[in-house]
């Protein structure tokens, strides 16, 4: 998922519909990749390299475990030797479990974000080619928060999509901080790469939380005056590793209610750089920023109780039960085109049980 490396993809999973197709075969490949992303399976390929997801939960079952090591032997420069060396070692050090950051009420939001980013980095980037936590983007927010809580307990290496879910979980108790997903699709050396970070907005300044194989493709302090400045900073980081940014997907603000049965809106705006041109691309980024701001000011954005906005609680694990809220997702608009807002039905919760 990290676009910065020639053999890996940026952290989320891979299409590349921004390029003009020269053949039906090329169109078919991109269409399949887009379908995988819609289904939450975008990690099936990683910059052209097969990529696996642990769908059996934890502890990892034998079949998934053996498949992981077989894949490591294929993709690692030392091949099977590295797998044999690690699996045969008897003196491997015990890896400490990072402590979930807690804050005093006087701690400033930027300081909290830095602490959360340090915590996310302590998990380390997952280079095994097997994602340990299955992230279904269609799951209700409450289910994804349960998964994030499990991540904090297991402390296994993560990729970018897992880091976004973890970032949401750790910032739920900061109602003055708005969060929204930002996805990138890039092109390098014949392959398409995808990456995702958690955009943040505090006091009118933009930044981001996340994880990547490259230092400049994850955390951004909330110092950018506009959303376009933040996105262009990522674009410049991609240029430094010879990647061409093709498409950016922007979600809406995420609810602060950890018990919400809403789904995260991952792709409210889909911006194709080649179709838009640079100036129109910048305008569409700012239009999306205004849309999010207006939804908050009109009270139709993510539920962030007014009284909670006055005072942050000290720990991300401290939350109170809230009644379920209706899904208020809107249709996404590709390449800057607006679509009329249509209410969507509640997500199918049949068979889903909220764990306390």
Report whether 250 contacts 271 (CB < 8 A). yes
Give catalytic residue positions. Answer: 160, 195, 212
Tokens of 7: 């053999």
Task: Determine which helix (DSSP H) or strand (DSSP E) holds 187, and give its type and residue range.
Answer: strand 178-188
Strands 130-131 and 52-53: parallel
Strands 130-131 and 178-188: unpaired
Collect all residues with Cβ–Cβ distance below 8 Å to 217 and sequence separation of at least 6.
2, 3, 4, 10, 195, 197, 210, 234, 237, 238
Tokens 């951004």 correspond to what residue? 220
DSSP string, 216-280: GGS-EEEEESSHHHHHHHHHHHHHHTT-EEEEEEE-PPPPS-TT--PPP---SEEEEHHHH-HHH
Report whether 4 contacts 189 (CB < 8 A). no
């Amino acid at each position: 998922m990290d676009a910065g490396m020639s053999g890996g993809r940026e952290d989320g999973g891979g299409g590349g519909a921004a390029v003009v197709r020269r053949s039906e075969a090329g169109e078919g490949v991109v269409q399949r990749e887009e379908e995988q992303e819609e289904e939450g399976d975008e990690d099936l390929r990683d910059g052209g390299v097969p990529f696996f997801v642990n769908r059996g939960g934890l502890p990892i079952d034998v079949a998934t475990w053996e498949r992981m090591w077989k894949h490591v032997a294929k993709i690692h420069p030392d091949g099977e030797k590295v797998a044999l060396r690690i699996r045969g070692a008897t003196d491997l050090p015990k890896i400490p479990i990072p402590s979930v950051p807690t804050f005093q009420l006087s701690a400033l939001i930027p300081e909290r974000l830095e602490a959360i980013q340090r915590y996310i980095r302590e998990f380390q980037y997952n280079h095994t080619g097997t994602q340990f936590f299955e992230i279904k983007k269609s799951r209700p927010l409450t289910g994804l928060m349960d998964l994030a809580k499990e991540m904090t307990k297991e402390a296994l290496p993560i990729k970018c999509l897992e880091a976004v879910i973890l970032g949401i979980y750790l910032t739920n108790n900061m109602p003055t901080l708005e969060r929204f997903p930002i996805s990138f699709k890039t092109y390098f050396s014949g392959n398409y790469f995808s990456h995702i970070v958690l955009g943040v907005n505090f006091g009118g300044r933009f930044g981001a939380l996340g994880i990547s194989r490259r230092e400049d493709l994850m955390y951004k302090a909330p110092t950018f005056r506009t959303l376009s400045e933040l996105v262009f900073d990522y674009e410049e980081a991609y240029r430094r590793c010879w990647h061409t940014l093709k498409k950016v997907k922007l979600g809406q603000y995420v609810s602060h209610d950890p018990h919400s049965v809403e789904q995260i809106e991952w792709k409210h705006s889909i911006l194709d750089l080649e179709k838009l041109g640079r100036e129109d691309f910048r305008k569409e980024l700012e239009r999306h920023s205004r849309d999010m701001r207006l939804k908050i000011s009109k009270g139709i954005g993510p539920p962030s109780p007014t009284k909670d906005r006055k005072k942050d609680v000290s720990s991300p694990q401290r939350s109170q039960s809230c009644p379920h809220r209706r899904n208020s997702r809107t249709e996404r608009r590709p390449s800057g085109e607006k679509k009329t807002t249509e209410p969507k039905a509640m997500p199918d919760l049949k068979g889903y049980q909220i764990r306390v």
